[in-house]
Amino acid sequence: MLDWLKGILGDGYTDDLDRKISAEIGKNFVAKADFNGVKAELKTAKEAVSARDGQLEELRKSSGDLDALKAQIAELQTANQKEAEAHEAELNRLRKGAALQLALGDSVFDPADIIARLDLDKVELDEKGGLKTGLDTLIAPIREEKPYLFKPDKAPDKPVIHGIRPADPSPRGEDGASDSGPVII
């Protein structure tokens, strides 16, 4: 799970250490995908508030008959409702993308490539924001069609090198000659 930390600690990294670190990280830190989702939600909310402030300012400036103001208010309400629905759809898309990115983890080279090829309407989330839909059923067609996007399941075997034999590792004397025979000068 924490391969980046394994590279830093080297041989000192154990599975027990991995479990302890994973448990503690979950208490004090937020996943990057979750952070990006909340950040995008905040940005959208700020934009919506500023747009509605502008609409209110327009209503204050407009002076006219009551029917025109009522029509303008109704128009703004429908526009705000459409904006809210679009905002909710974008948040759902971000939540699904974050859940998929966490579920894919280190099994793919670039999770964004896989997520872009998925139909997010088929993805369902549980109450905690995790995947309700089986990940294997979602990515099976992509794995068959584009297997190069996925990391291999096991580490490749060490290559067998055929060719010359290595040099004789027998000890040499002080003069650089081996102990195996006479030296010709």
Q: Please give the mean pLDDT across all residues of the chain.
A: 79
Would the pLDDT of 177 be above 60? no
- 184 vs 144, which has greater pLDDT? 144
Percent of the chain at pLDDT above 90? 3
- 160 vs 176, which has greater pLDDT? 160
Provide the domain count of the chain: 1
Which band of pLDDT confidence, cut at 50, 70 and 90, is reported for residue 144?
Answer: very high
The H or E element that residue 53 is part of is helix 32-61
Single out the residue of 79, 80, 121 nearest to residue 100, CA to CA: 121
Asked, for residue 88, whether it belongs to a domain, the answer is yes
Q: What is the pTM of this model?
A: 0.53
For residue 30, the SS3 value is coil
Would the pLDDT of 107 be above 80? yes
- pLDDT at residue 80, rounded to an integer: 86
Asked, for residue 140, whether it belongs to a domain, the answer is yes
Asked, for residue 7, whether it belongs to a domain, the answer is no
User: Which domain, by its residues, includes 68?
Assistant: 31-149
| Structure letter (DSSP) for residue 50 | H
Asked, for residue 171, whether it belongs to a domain, the answer is no
Asked, for residue 126, whether it belongs to a domain, the answer is yes
Asked, for residue 25, whether it belongs to a domain, the answer is no
The H or E element that residue 137 is part of is helix 135-145
Asked, for residue 4, whether it belongs to a domain, the answer is no
| Structure letter (DSSP) for residue 109 | S
- pLDDT at residue 145, rounded to an integer: 92
Q: What is the mean pLDDT of residues 25-49?
A: 79
Single out the residue of 140, 79, 130 nearest to residue 107, CA to CA: 140
Asked, for residue 26, whether it belongs to a domain, the answer is no
For residue 105, the SS3 value is coil
Single out the residue of 19, 11, 9, 12 nearest to residue 1, CA to CA: 19
**Do 149 and 109 form a contact (C-beta atoms < 8 A)?**
yes
